[in-house]
Amino acid sequence: MLVALGLGSPPGAAAADKGKPAGREAVLKLLAASERAPNEQELRALGPDTDRQLIAIASDGKVEPKMRARAVAALAFAPSSASRAHLTKLVAEAGAAKDATDLLLVRRAAVALGLTRLASAARLLRARLDVEEDARVRGHLSRQLRVVEDSLSEGPGTATNTAR
């Protein structure tokens, strides 16, 4: 609660102070701390390599599906080439989704990719929108696609989130 009020440090802040790479257990603890995905500040507080830990957790079939989904969603706030590549791969391979967990991960990746506001995100979001059957997810994808397209139409000097 102190973290939510801005009065305390998020879990793992001590690790970041020492420059120590994020450990899997610290990342799992952060993912379990809330129903929402961690934000950029919370992830940064864990230290370097948090993106790689999130990717490992998201890819681990032994991890609970909701934790894997939170890890995928959190990748939107872990700006790195590795996180973008993983999100892109998940969305691009959507046709290979075999079960409800795979579909959940693809859907979270599509929304997370939309939050990056990269030009490549618009193409992937549009492709996913064409095949998505869940009306609620289609709504999320449509909104994210509009946000990405709007940020791209503003041009490189005015879009607020294109450098992520």
pLDDT digits (tens, 9 = 90+) for 9-65: 444 444 444 467 889 999 999 999 999 989 999 999 999 999 999 999 999 999 999
Structural contact between residues 101 and 146, judged by C-beta atoms closer than 8 angstroms? no
Query: How many CB atoms lie under 10 A from the CB of residue 97?
Result: 15
Distant-in-sequence, close-in-space partners of 160: CB < 8 Å, separation ≥ 6: 117, 151
pLDDT digits (tens, 9 = 90+) for 151-164: 878 755 444 444 33
Could you tell me which of 30, 6, 126 has the C-alpha nearest to residue 78? 30
pTM over 0.85: no
pLDDT exceeds cutoff 60 at 1: no
For residue 35, the SS3 value is coil
pLDDT exceeds cutoff 80 at 116: no
Q: How many CA atoms within 13 Å lie on the side-chain side of 116?
A: 30
Could you tell me which of 68, 72, 22 has the C-alpha nearest to residue 43? 22
